[in-house]
Amino acid sequence: MKRVVIVSIFLLSAVLNLTAQTEKEIKAEIKHVTVFPDRAQIDHETTVSLLPGKTILKLSGLSPYIDVQSIQVKGFGEFTILSVNHQNNYLQNLEDAPEVKSIRSQIEVLQIKVEDEKAAISILKEKGAFLVANRAILVKETTFTIEQLKSVMDLYTNNMDQITMTSLKKERLIKDYEKQITALQQQIAEKLGKQQLPSGEISVTVTSEKQLSGKFSFSYVVTNAGWYPSYDIRVDDIKNPVTIFYKANVFQSSGVVWKDVKLSFSNATPWVAGDVPVLYPWFVDYYYPAPPIQRGKIAGVNRSDAPLMLEMAADTKMEAKAMEAAPITVEKQVGETTITFDIAIPYSIPSDGKIQTVEIQRLTAPADYKYVTLPKMSPLVYLTANITDWAKLSLQSGEATLYFENSFVGKSYLNVNQLTDTLTISLGTDNSILVKREKRKDFTSKKVIGTNKTETYSFLLTIRNNKANSVKITLNDQIPVSSNSGITVEPVELSGGSYNSQSGYVKWDLEIKQQETKQIVLTYSVKYPKDKTVILE
């Protein structure tokens, strides 16, 4: 009797332990996504009913690209979180996107139509076989008059003709349905790729002394997502400030759709190591060059071309609007080392890797407009906007689309990685200001005096302002810089230009009135030993 009682107690304990540790599938919607430059942090929230004892909560249907070390689970309630585990379930694929589900539904409808048409063809074939069999019996065992035989044959022919034509139409329908099915299946293959993704899972073991309702938050970082900045820079005219439309280009192919979630864009890089780098000893030694390799002579090689500035023009102007649409509400949070933009309106970002653009900031900044030209490099004049205290705008480097006087003028790159107080933005070229650089042959000469040779070069720089107003323009040019003590470079005439002997740059800050033409003379000389060769042209 005691043995039976002991066995019963053990069985009862096993049953209690089994019932005390249960596994429960839970669902938690994505509430918030913080997008970093090349990854994203996903935040889920849910409420779960817990029974007394241990419970394993399993959150599935997650991205397979989760960074395991980034997983955080928080619980709110009278229970204890014992452990958190993660795995990718290769036996369970991620739920298809709504668009893929819609395509699958279309395929199922077409497949049903194909089955219906095939069934109808099968019935028609049976009817045709029945007519053929009965025709043979009637002709063999029945005596007909000529008129009766003709009636029977007409009846047979009409029925067979109807069966044949109906079967042919249905076979054509089947071919059309099968073509549609093939096209839809190709769409699914393009969206899902060759292999469906496994389902990411987070398992949380909790224990509770009583039945209760607990709140959970899940947070983790996924790869295959990110954002980068771009800008629309608009200037109505040079009397008004610059308007900068700051945009975030977001993309993700994490395998899970972000549906109606609050988005935040951060410039933080939390995956970069935060440790201070170590400075190791720097050892130097003599340099022994490798022996030269004989190569074939390359003919027809020109000097490197001058860098070209991107220049684009638009034939059509933007339509004027009575009132421009207001931007979405965005809250900017500036931390010690990072900046975050919180978007007030929920967004849906599909997992297709395509770019979605979200405006995150609209700025107006006063600017000092100047024209810049480098006639040695380009016969064009460029309009620039110089913005002071630009660091307060919280900008990042990125591509910029330029609009001037409601016209698209081209593309540029906004580079904020500079150590100056003024940010210079190029606004494209202005064809109403003409510039020309030509050599003054009468003032260009080569002379040999003693053991030295002296070459003198002179250029005439001409600028014409055809605009209806005066303009400020910076003219840039250069003279050579000697890197050898045997070569002497001297500026002869600079027409009041500012000369930097270290770089050789010469700059003129000019103000040219409407319909005015100004001419600048640039002359310099280079002296070097006559038995040496110096390339100056």
Helix or strand holding residue 393 (H, E): none
What number is the average pLDDT over the span 509-533?
Answer: 92
pLDDT value at 195 more than 60:
no
Distance, CA of 56 to CA of 204 (rounded, Å)? 6
- Quickly state the pLDDT bin for 459 (edges 50, 70, 90): very high
Q: Residue 78 carries which DSSP code?
A: S
**315 torsion bin: left (phi>0), alpha (psi -120 to 50), beta (else):** alpha
Mean pLDDT of the chain: 80
Distance, CA of 214 to CA of 52 (rounded, Å)? 12
3-state secondary structure of 302: coil
Strands 66-76 and 212-222: antiparallel
CB atoms within 10 A of CB 218: 23
Per the listing, tokens 């970069």 go with 272
| 478: nearest Cα among 336, 377, 355 | 377
pLDDT for position 11 = 40
Strands 242-252 and 66-76: unpaired
What's at 109, amino acid-wise? Answer: V
Tokens of 238: 């040079």
pLDDT for position 375 = 93
pLDDT value at 502 more than 80:
yes
E strand map for 253-392: 258-266, 330-334, 339-343, 347-349, 356-365, 368-373, 381-388
Q: Which of these ranges, 237-241, 257-261, 492-496, has the smallest mean pLDDT?
A: 237-241
CB atoms within 10 A of CB 478: 17
Strands 488-493 and 517-529: antiparallel
What number is the average pLDDT over the span 146-171?
Answer: 77
What number is the average pLDDT over the span 331-351?
Answer: 82
Residue 531: which residues within 8 A CB-CB, separation 6 or more?
451
Say if CB 116 and CB 177 are below 8 A apart.
Answer: no
pLDDT value at 251 more than 70:
yes
- Quickly state the pLDDT bin for 522 (edges 50, 70, 90): very high
Strands 258-266 and 29-36: parallel
Q: What is the 3-state secondary structure (H, E, C) of 322-348?
A: CCCCCCCCEEEEECCCCEEEEECCCEE
pLDDT for position 13 = 44
Tens digit of each residue's pLDDT (9 = 90 or more) over 394-420? 788 888 888 888 888 888 888 777 767
Distance of CA 375 to the CA centre of its chain: 36
pLDDT for position 314 = 34
Share above pLDDT 90 across residues of the chain, in percent, rounded to a whole number: 35
pLDDT for position 338 = 77
pLDDT value at 434 more than 60:
yes
| 225: nearest Cα among 264, 254, 197, 199 | 254
pLDDT for position 3 = 45
- Quickly state the pLDDT bin for 59 (edges 50, 70, 90): very high
pLDDT for position 388 = 82
Say if CB 470 and CB 514 are below 8 A apart.
Answer: yes
Distance of CA 301 to the CA centre of its chain: 38
Q: Which of these ranges, 36-40, 104-108, 138-142, 163-167, has the smallest mean pLDDT?
A: 138-142
pLDDT value at 1 more than 60:
no
Per the listing, tokens 């053990």 go with 10
Say if CB 484 and CB 490 are below 8 A apart.
Answer: no
CB atoms within 10 A of CB 14: 10
**Count of H helices and E strands in the chain?**
3, 28
Q: Could you tell me the pTM of the whole model?
A: 0.62
Distance, CA of 166 to CA of 160 (rounded, Å)? 10
Residue 285 vs residue 455, higher pLDDT: 455
- Quickly state the pLDDT bin for 137 (edges 50, 70, 90): low
Most confident option among 73-87, 113-127, 174-188: 73-87
DSSP 448-516: EETTEEEEEEEEEEEEEE-SSS-EEEEEEEE-----STT-EEEEEE-TT-EE-TTT-EEEEEEEE-TT-
Tens digit of each residue's pLDDT (9 = 90 or more) over 274-326? 566 667 766 545 456 666 654 443 333 333 333 333 333 333 333 434 455 66
